């Protein structure tokens, strides 16, 4: 009776469920019945019914095919606009196992959100340069005005640059010299992180940071054939606060180039080659005022490169390259291991001699060792009017790669050394400096006083 009175206060459905729970195990175990309940209680955590997070946007949900044939540019743009309009942290996913064909695209800020672009698959460019007709020929993937952007994912960005290279005047001198796209450009971006990606076969430069602040680029592979023209790996221009680290760069031009008003740059643990080495400049072209200040390259392996550590400026320019340190560098079969060239001239026609120059000073080469593929292992070709000042060599040991000898060549270079330096430094002393400036006859008169 107590049980009946308790049950009478319950609803019919509750009593029915209670009977099922109490009786069903007894029927199944003792009489061999197969119990198939009429009421299926909901189960939590079913993968098929769980809605996708609003914080993760898949480009496929915006119409991307990911087959490498259909144009997925619009899907990318739609996903970006959606992510940019939301607040908080948002991810845009290019999933693995798919290839996304993306045409020249302009991706702009500012955004309400902090966006992470996860590229786990492959993004490819159109192969035909005619796609750029009427568009900016210098851009493919162009990000500008974006703050707190992260790009990562372990995927690939392939510029499909082969047709561009074949049309280059550096491959065929009968072709006109024209601009080609940088694969991925970041312009006026702040607090930017780019990591764990592979960049392949860019049309021209692979990755450029222009007018950016607070950039970290790490764990990158940048790959293109040695013959590919102007395919710089990472280009830094008018940017402050850059760290590039733990990366492999094999291209047809500078592995890393640092130009025009960049400062506070840190390069760490870089493998470079083939290519043209690590370069400051060129600076001062077309009589421009330009500066590069406070650069440290610490830990690099350069092999089979045309140059090793290079500073290059044009005659007629102005400004300065100062407070630059190259340290803990290992070289193998490098044609010009250490070079400062204030007479740089990348032109079909000879460059005119000009008095003004970009000042080069406070430059250090510390713990630089390896093999030189040419006899001229160290070259300091500095301006008569603006000689190189405060050059410093410490623990430098460069030997010939295939026997023979190596040497240092200097003009207008002033500095000091410490420890073993081979080939020996050829810095211009005070007497030599006077002889260059006033001429042998005047120098003789001065010296006899």
Cβ-proximal residues to 418 (8 Å cutoff; 6+ apart), any chain: 392, 393, 394, 395
> Does residue 108 register a pLDDT over 80?
yes
> Does residue 110 register a pLDDT over 70?
yes
Domain at 120, CATH number: 2.160.20.10
Average pLDDT taken over every residue of the chain:
88
In a domain, 247, yes or no: no
> Does residue 304 register a pLDDT over 80?
yes
In a domain, 236, yes or no: no
For residues 151 and 9, which has the higher predicted lDDT (pLDDT)? 151
Question: At which residue do the structure tokens 């950016």 appear?
Answer: 212
In a domain, 233, yes or no: no
Domain identity same for 331 and 391: yes
Domain identity same for 291 and 203: no
Catalytic residue of the set 253, 254, 341, 361? 253
pTM equals: 0.84
* Percent helix, percent strand, percent coil in the chain, to nearest 5: 15, 45, 35
Domain identity same for 272 and 372: yes
Cβ-proximal residues to 426 (8 Å cutoff; 6+ apart), any chain: 378, 380, 408, 409, 410, 413
Domain identity same for 291 and 421: yes
Whether 70 is catalytic: no
In a domain, 41, yes or no: no
> Does residue 442 register a pLDDT over 80?
no
pLDDT-derived band of residue 173, with 50, 70 and 90 as boundaries? confident
In a domain, 229, yes or no: no
For residues 47 and 57, which has the higher predicted lDDT (pLDDT)? 57
In a domain, 147, yes or no: yes
Domain identity same for 69 and 140: yes
pLDDT-derived band of residue 22, with 50, 70 and 90 as boundaries? very low
Domain span at residue 258? 254-449
In a domain, 40, yes or no: no
Q: Round the CA-based radius of gyration of the chain to a whole number and report it.
A: 32
Domains identified in the chain, total number: 3
pLDDT-derived band of residue 9, with 50, 70 and 90 as boundaries? very low
pLDDT in tens, 120-150: 999 999 999 999 999 999 999 999 999 999 9
Domain identity same for 27 and 57: no
In a domain, 25, yes or no: yes
Domain identity same for 24 and 126: no
Domain identity same for 155 and 269: no
Domain identity same for 193 and 307: no
Phi, psi angles (nearest 5°) of residue 259: -135, 175
Whether 254 is catalytic: no
Distance, CA of 209 to CA of 392 (rounded, Å) = 29
Catalytic residue of the set 187, 235, 276, 414? 276
Domain identity same for 316 and 183: no
């Amino acid at each position: 009776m107590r049980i009946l009175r308790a049950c009478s206060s319950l609803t019919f459905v509750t009593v029915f469920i209670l009977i099922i729970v109490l009786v069903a195990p007894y029927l199944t175990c003792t009489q061999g019945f197969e119990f198939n309940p009429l009421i299926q209680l909901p189960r939590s955590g079913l993968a098929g019914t769980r809605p996708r997070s609003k914080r993760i946007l898949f480009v496929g949900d915006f119409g991307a095919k990911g087959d490498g044939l259909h144009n997925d540019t619009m899907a990318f743009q739609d996903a970006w606009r959606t992510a940019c309009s939301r607040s908080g942290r948002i991810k845009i996913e290019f999933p693995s196992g798919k290839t996304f064909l993306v045409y020249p695209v302009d991706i702009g800020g500012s955004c309400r959100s902090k966006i992470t672009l996860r590229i786990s698959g492959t993004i490819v460019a159109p192969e035909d340069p005619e796609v750029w007709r009427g568009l900016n020929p210098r851009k493919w993937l162009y990000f500008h005005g974006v703050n707190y952007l992260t790009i990562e994912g372990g995927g690939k960005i392939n510029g499909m640059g082969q047709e561009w290279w074949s049309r280059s005047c550096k491959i065929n001198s009968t072709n006109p010299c024209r601009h080609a796209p940088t694969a991925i450009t970041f312009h006026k971006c702040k607090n930017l992180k780019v990591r764990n990606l592979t960049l392949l076969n860019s049309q021209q430069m692979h990755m450029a940071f222009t007018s950016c602040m607070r950039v970290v680029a790490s764990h990158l592979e940048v790959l293109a054939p040695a013959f590919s023209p102007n395919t710089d790996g990472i280009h830094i221009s008018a940017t402050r606060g850059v760290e590039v680290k733990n990366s492999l760069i094999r291209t047809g031009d500078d592995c890393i180039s640092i130009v025009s008003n960049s400062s506070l740059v840190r390069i760490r643990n870089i493998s470079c080659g083939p290519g043209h080495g690590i370069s400051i400049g060129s600076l001062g072209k077309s009589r421009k005022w330009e500066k590069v200040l406070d650069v440290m390259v610490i830990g690099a392996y350069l092999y089979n490169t045309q140059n090793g550590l290079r500073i290059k400026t044009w005659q007629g320019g102005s400004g300065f390259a100062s407070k630059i340190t190259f340290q803990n560098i290992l070289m193998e079969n490098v044609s010009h291991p250490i070079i400062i060239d204030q007479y740089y001239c990348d032109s079909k026609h000879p460059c005119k001699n000009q008095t003004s120059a970009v000042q080069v000073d406070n430059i250090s080469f510390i713990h630089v060792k390896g093999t030189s593929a040419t006899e001229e292992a160290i070259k300091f070709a500095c301006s008569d009017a603006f000689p190189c000042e405060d050059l410093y060599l410490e623990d430098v040991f460069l030997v010939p790669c295939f026997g023979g000898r190596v040497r240092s060549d200097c003009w207008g270079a002033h500095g000091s050394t410490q420890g073993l330096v081979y080939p020996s430094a050829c810095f211009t002393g005070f007497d030599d400096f006077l002889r260059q400036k006033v001429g042998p006859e005047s120098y003789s008169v001065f010296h006899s006083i």
